[in-house]
Amino acid sequence: MCRPKEIDEKVVENIVLFGGDIDKERVVDFFFYFPSEHAATQVEVKLINLGFETNVYYFDPNEKWSLTANKKMQVSAERIYEASLWFGKIAEEQGGEYDGWGAPI
């Protein structure tokens, strides 16, 4: 399932509204959940190969494995949306879900 593009546009608008310069690179965090450690590490390997820093851990409140990935990059609604489409696809291939992104202002 893909998140609506409007959500990403609103986040980027808020970064600018609160003084962030989207022309500068910043660390962007991406969040995933998986039913097993194996599923999470399958996606982790793909992300590591693309230069992401990653962390896999068991997230007890929802009884799933969490994968966080981050990378320094420029933020634009279009770029994040395109990445989100791919993240959603690779997460679903492993029975998981992509849960969005965040970045400092």
**Mean pLDDT of all residues in 70-77:** 92
Please calculate the CA angle 87-89-93 and round it to the nearest 5 degrees.
115
Q: What is the pLDDT of residues 12-60, one digit of tens each?
A: 888 888 988 888 999 999 999 999 999 999 999 999 999 999 999 998 8
Concatenated DSSP letters for 21-40? Answer: -TTS-EEEEEEEEESSHHHH
pLDDT for res 61? 77
